């Protein structure tokens, strides 16, 4: 599937204390709350999401997923911070000083734009920004089409749940 919708569920490892993976627990909780999220993005009130509504839905859904994962397993954020510390702590003093933070931020920014920085100057000009935006819109449209099982141009909560289940291999109950 596509990175934006499906990025909600990736990047997780390890097991929660109850034997469920953080991914499984988060997915089940997200699926239970899906009708609430769908309704918030459903501008025309028809109970489904058009592509335009899906584009509003996804950032909020991603933010909720990230918050849930941090709530379920706070060590995920700690592991990411430890990885960044190990990579960018040039002075090896166990913390990032201002110069190291700046270097990390710059490296992460370069990584995020690398694909579209065609002239290699470390920043995006207007054409490069436009191409990056079009690519993101294309990925969203691709995820939307893949999740739209009946091809009617509208996503239901059941279609989103089914797509997430198919991607992760974790069966979840249909949203109520």
Structure confidence by residue, pLDDT tens digits, 21-44: 777 787 788 888 888 999 999 999
Give me the DSSP letters along the chain: --HHHHGGG-S--S--TTS--HHHHHHHHHHHHHHHHHHHH-TT-SSSB-HHHHHHHHHHHHHHHHHHHHHH-THHHHHHHHHHHHHH-TT-SSS--HHHHHHHHHHHHHHHHGGG-TT-SSS--HHHHHHHHHHHHHHHHHHHHHH-TT-SS-B-HHHHHHHHHHHH----PPP-
The verdict on residue 53 lying in a domain is yes
For 154-172, letters b (16+ CB in 10 Å) and e give bbbbebbbbbbbebbebeb
Residue 85's domain comprises 3-13+20-168
- Residue 149's pLDDT is what? 94
Q: pLDDT band at 46, cuts 50/70/90?
A: very high
User: Which region holds residue 173: left if phi is over 0, alpha if psi is between -120 and 50, else beta?
Assistant: beta
Q: pLDDT band at 52, cuts 50/70/90?
A: very high
The verdict on residue 60 lying in a domain is yes
- Model confidence over 73-82: pLDDT tens digits? 788 778 888 8
User: How many domains is the chain built from?
Assistant: 1
The verdict on residue 97 lying in a domain is yes
Instruction: Determine the average pLDDT of the residues in 56-73.
Output: 84
Q: Tokens for 29?
A: 């909780």
Would you say residue 17 has pLDDT above 70?
A: no
More confident residue, 16 or 64: 64
pTM: 0.68
The verdict on residue 173 lying in a domain is no
The verdict on residue 174 lying in a domain is no
The verdict on residue 175 lying in a domain is no
- Model confidence over 89-146: pLDDT tens digits? 888 898 888 998 898 888 888 888 888 999 988 889 999 999 989 998 898 899 899 9
């Amino acid at each position: 599937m596509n990175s934006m919708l499906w990025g909600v569920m990736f990047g997780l490892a390890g097991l929660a204390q109850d034997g469920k993976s953080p991914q499984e627990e988060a997915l089940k909780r997200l699926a239970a709350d899906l009708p609430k999220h769908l309704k918030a993005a459903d501008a025309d009130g028809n109970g489904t999401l058009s592509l335009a509504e899906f584009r509003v839905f996804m950032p909020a859904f991603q933010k909720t997923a990230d918050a849930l994962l941090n709530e379920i397993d706070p060590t995920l954020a700690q592991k990411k911070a430890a990885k960044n510390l190990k990579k960018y702590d040039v002075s090896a003093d166990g913390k990032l000083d201002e110069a190291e933070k700046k270097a990390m931020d710059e490296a992460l920014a370069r990584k995020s734009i690398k694909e579209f920085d065609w002239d290699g100057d470390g920043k995006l000009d207007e054409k490069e920004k436009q191409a990056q935006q079009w690519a993101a819109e294309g990925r969203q449209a691709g995820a939307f089409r893949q999740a739209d099982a009946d091809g009617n141009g509208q996503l239901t909560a059941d279609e989103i749940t089914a797509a997430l289940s198919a991607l992760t291999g974790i069966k979840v109950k249909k949203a109520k």
